[in-house]
Amino acid sequence: MNYIECEIKEDCGYLLPLGDCHIGDKAFHQNIKKLKDYIKWVKETPNARVVLGGDIFNVATRNSATPPFDSIPGEFELAVELFTPIKEKIVAAISGNHEHRTEDIADINLMQHFCFRLGIPFMGYSGVVVFKVNKRKGNRYRQNYSVYFHHGTGGGSTPGSKLNRAVKLSEIVEGCDVYCVFHSHGLSASPKEIYYPSMDAKKMLKRRRWYVVCGSYLEWANSYAEKKMLSPEKLGSPRIRFSGKADKPDIHVSI
């Protein structure tokens, strides 16, 4: 686990937690335009940032659930081509279970090599990024927002079970504003009001915490999801907005 700070000088910032592309899977290539549209938006939005949440690659093997015969070759170079235009806006990346397949076979983490190729900080299995928004005098920022990222594990096909994996993250890292989990291919978000004691104010204060399940880019038809009788999911990534204007923190999640 690593800690990274990201400075956004504008009076608000946008985070796109982007993962589960599974580049190389035929189900991704059915609608590659979806990812290209998100990348185009990030490139054209000065205060937008990205954290990659793992399973960017499909890494199909003879022992995986999706066989290599259903894959399209050249996934690593295609990922480099897709993400290079926004590489300066990719704050960090974590790896997913599909990237772990090459670790198991050859002690090589494909995500780590991808990050080295593009110059992106690699956080390993999980990490915290603090987004500092709205720069003021003296290199100070109006608001700071902490986000914990983990690719996630386990199954569960209902929306509640997928959100439970995000809630579980708050038992690992305390005090974050947002907890982002991937892996389940769901796209959902849930806020929770939390009270905490303030020694400065000498009273209990309230802060909103968000649990976010971060979506995917795999079409359902003729895919592993259809084969295994999994429900179709809305494709894409959530967009998290961090305000730097207000006197108190303000986060909005769009899905």
Residue 71 has pLDDT above 70, yes or no: yes
d(CA 72, CA 87): 24
Pairing of strands 187-198, 178-181: unpaired
- The letter for the amino acid at 217 is Y
Looking at residue 248, its pLDDT comes to 82
Region 180-187 average pLDDT: 96
Among the listed residues 190, 177, 167, the one whose alpha carbon sits nearest the alpha carbon of residue 132: 177
> Residue 97 carries which side chain, given as an amino acid letter?
N
Whether the pLDDT of residue 66 is over 80: the answer is no
**What pTM was estimated for this model as a whole?**
0.95
Q: To the nearest 5 percent, what fractions of the chain are helix, strand and coil?
A: 25, 35, 40
**Which comes out higher in pLDDT, residue 66 or 137?**
137
Mean pLDDT taken over the chain? 93
Please name the fold of domain 2-254: Purple Acid Phosphatase; chain A, domain 2 (3.60.21)
Q: Model confidence over 72-114: pLDDT tens digits?
A: 889 999 999 999 999 999 999 999 999 988 888 888 899 999 9
- Confidence bin at 59 (pLDDT 50/70/90): confident
Alpha-carbon dihedral of residues 51, 215, 67, 102, nearest 10 degrees?
20
Could you tell me which residues come within 8 angstroms of residue 200 by beta carbon, excluding any fewer than 6 positions away? none
**Average pLDDT, integer, range 232-254:** 93
